[in-house]
Chains A and B, each alone.
Chain A
Amino acid sequence: MKRYIAYSAILGLVWCFVHGTVNVNNFILGVLIAPFIIRPFKTLFPFDQDFSFANAIKKIPAQIKFLYVLIVEIIKANIMVAKIVLQPKIDIKPGIIAVPIDSKTDLGITAIANTITLTPGTLTIDVSDDRSILYVHAIDATDPEGVAQSIKDDLEKYTMEAFE
């Protein structure tokens, strides 16, 4: 039930943004419609686990920090790919690397996979069946261990804090 309230509030805010005017009327309308959206997608969310507002609020600073790291990484990624594209002769050594991950929950794995895709030189392709390995396509795959290590140190630390 608590999850319904939290997700309804988020969807209400999303409805305000989609509508274009943020005010109380729109927010209440969004909150009233939200349960009809949440119900069909219930199996995608961990409704059987305990949920507390205190924990959710406690994670917000970590999520803001993660957002900051993400923006910096996106800009770095763009400059790096732009350099590759603008080279007169394209000289790359791509490849698919297996990267072991520590995240256990669905949300944590989704967050780390999307973050990997948006950060320099790497693109998530698939997750293994036992959810312990991500297959990552890297533009520069000459040093597989280095890529795996940099993902673990630079990104997973922040997603683990923010979403697990």
Chain B
Amino acid sequence: MVLELLSNAVLIIGLFFVFLAMLGLARLPDVYNRLHTTTKIGTLGAFSVMLSILLKVGFSPMGVKAITVALFILITSPVAAHMISRAAHRHGVGLCKESVIDEYGKACESACSINERE
């Protein structure tokens, strides 16, 4: 009974955070800021949903698989964000106009001025 309630509570928290991630994806200005929400909030959201499955079914095969999936998401989502942002920057996707500093752009220009986009 207590586990059931706890599981539902964690599920609602997780869904709320996933909702926030999608809201951030729509509201924030450029690709880098959007990646902030999808990696950070998305990770905790998915983690909470998986944790709620574990609390509901206990350490049965399904619960163990759920917690494995949660750990994989925790490890792989930063790597995905890293690759997406790097690829975006190399393709010349600029920062939004509110940005105050871009030290990576400067380093890229001096290192690979041949490939620089006009």
Contacts and interface: CB of A to CB of B under 8 A. Distances in A.
Q: Taking chain A's interface residues, is the majority helix, strand, or loop, or is none over half, making it mixed?
A: mixed
A125 interface: yes
Contact of B40 (A81, A114, A135, A141): A81
A21 B61 contact: yes
Q: Taking chain B's interface residues, is the majority helix, strand, or loop, or is none over half, making it mixed?
A: helix
A118 B68 contact: no
A69 to B, nearest CB: 14
Interface string B97-116: 01111111101000100000
A139 B17 CA distance: 19
B105 A96 contact: yes
Contacts, number: 135
Nearest to A120: B40
Nearest to A20: B61
Contacts of B89: 125-126
Interface string A74-88: 110110011011100
Interface of B: 17, 20, 23-24, 27-30, 32-33, 35-37, 39-41, 43-44, 60-62, 64-65, 67-68, 74-75, 78-79, 81-82, 85-86, 89, 95-96, 98-105, 107, 111
